[in-house]
Amino acid sequence: RLRALNRLQVIFQHLKMSKQTDSAAEVLLEKKGSAGVITLNRPKALNALNLPMIQKIYPQIKTWEQDPETFLIIIKGTGGKAFCAGGDIRALTEAGKVGDKLMQDFFIGEYRLNNAVGTCKKPYVALIDGITMGGGVGVSVHGHFRVATEKTVFAMPETAIGLFPDVGGGYFLPRLSGKIGYYLALTGCRLKGRDVLKAGIATHFVESEKLPALEKDLIALKSPSKEKIADLLNSYHMKCTIDQEKKFALDEHMEKINSLFSANSMEEIVKKLKQDGSPFAMKQLETINKMSPTSLKLTLRQLREGASMSLQEVLRMEYRLSQACMKGHDFYEGVRAVLIDKDQSPKWKPAALEEVSDEFVDSCFKPLGTDDLKL
């Protein structure tokens, strides 16, 4: 009997170990040459961020920041399809339904990580090859350099699932030229390839198959300065001719985007779209009509306020909004309709913009006292 027990203990120990190595393998943190390299390694889940990954990356960035032998930080994804398609929304939904602490811990961890990227003292290079959405935007867009490729697909599709473009979206979106950021946030419009650069989200554009060589050259730099890193990225960027002649996809619509999305309220934006009546405006109207009315109102205000806030203030505001969404109806309904049942027909509550009161919107932005996000 004792031997059987011992054998069981060995098996349990082994299971525990394999579980640990599995979760450790979801993100690889390696020191290579002069660089700290973060590899998001959940290819089956399109490298979506979960809390254990966030909790490993954050302290590592802080350690490398202090390390005199680390001169830059590189972040990339595996699998060839995605850099990072977002956060682990399903886990959040499950947690929110039963009031689990994960609904606080996940957002606290994620926003602290976004802030660590935004305040990083070492040059931070994100290789955003493939799908880059939501949480993936949060761990790339606030850094010094973002390298897009012909495979990059950028979007902040949160209004479709009863959320809002968080991870510092309230900071970077209103700072894009004209009203592009408002348009991207409210419609969830996807940008591909070179358009990600032209919109001002990426800083460089390099062929996908050249990324391993670029990474190798970055790692090989001897105690590089930010300028040296920029020079290397520029040299790759200049050599890339893919889609060089192509016009920015939103070019012909920019005038409309800037006027239609400059309204002060969602109702006004909808009215302007209806009055405009062009095929482009009608298409946007159709898209907006599918989104959560509550999310649309929260998002518009988030961006308008975020335009004049620091990244830290924005993340604090977004944490308040995240907790309001976790207590509401639309997030769970959106995730059900889009990710779980996939029937694509969410029943929003309230169902119309007019029914989302200013008082309710105000309440979502209220400070949380001692529960506010501490950065």
pLDDT attached to residue 17: 46
Q: How confident is the model at residue 14 (pLDDT cuts 50, 70, 90)?
A: low
Give the residue numbers spanning the domain of 270: 27-371
Helix, strand, coil share of the chain (percent; to 5): 55, 10, 30
Return the DSSP state at 336.
I
343 belongs to a structural domain = yes
Strand order in the sheet with 131-133: 82-84, 131-133, 153-155, 191-192
241 belongs to a structural domain = yes
* Per-residue pLDDT reduced to its tens digit, 67-99: 999 999 999 999 999 999 999 998 899 999 898
Q: How confident is the model at residue 18 (pLDDT cuts 50, 70, 90)?
A: very low
Return the DSSP state at 337.
I
Q: Could you give the angle at the alpha carbon of 296 between the alpha carbons of 250 and 361, nearest 5°?
A: 145
On average, the pLDDT of the chain sits at 94
Token digits for 191?
A: 């940008």
* Per-residue pLDDT reduced to its tens digit, 324-354: 999 999 999 999 999 999 999 999 999 999 9
pLDDT attached to residue 110: 98
209 belongs to a structural domain = yes
Token digits for 364?
A: 């979502």
7 belongs to a structural domain = no
Report the amino acid identity of residue 226. K
Token digits for 336?
A: 């059900």
Pairing of strands 27-32, 35-40: antiparallel
Question: Which residues are annotated as catalytic?
Answer: 87, 135, 158, 166
Q: Which residues pair with 39 in a beta bridge?
A: 28, 76
Distance CA(206)–CA(237), nearest Å, equals: 5
Cβ-contact 353, 267 below 8 angstroms: yes
Question: To which H or E segment does residue 375 belong?
Answer: none
Return the DSSP state at 8.
H
Cβ-contact 356, 350 below 8 angstroms: yes
22 belongs to a structural domain = no
Cβ-contact 146, 140 below 8 angstroms: yes
pLDDT attached to residue 227: 98
Cβ-contact 164, 299 below 8 angstroms: yes
Q: Where are the beta strands (DSSP E) in the chain?
A: 27-32, 35-40, 72-77, 82-84, 124-128, 131-133, 145-148, 153-155, 191-192, 204-205
Distance CA(52)–CA(372), nearest Å, equals: 22
Distance CA(77)–CA(131), nearest Å, equals: 10
The CATH number for 148's domain is: 3.90.226.10
Cβ-contact 337, 345 below 8 angstroms: yes
260 belongs to a structural domain = yes
Q: How confident is the model at residue 19 (pLDDT cuts 50, 70, 90)?
A: very low
The neighbour count for residue 249, using CB atoms within 10 Å, is 16
Number of domains in the chain: 1
**In a 10 Å sphere around its CB, with 0-12 CB exposed, 13-18 middle and 19+ buried, how is residue 217 labelled?**
middle
Token digits for 71?
A: 């001169």
Q: pLDDT > 90: what percent of the chain?
A: 91
CA-wise closest residue to 293 among 253, 333, 341: 333
SS3 144: coil
* Per-residue pLDDT reduced to its tens digit, 141-155: 999 999 999 999 999
Report the amino acid identity of residue 302. Q
- What's the whole-model pTM score? 0.93
Q: Which residues pair with 205 in a beta bridge?
A: 148
130 belongs to a structural domain = yes
Lowest average pLDDT, out of 14-23, 201-210, 295-304, goes to 14-23
The neighbour count for residue 49, using CB atoms within 10 Å, is 28
14 belongs to a structural domain = no
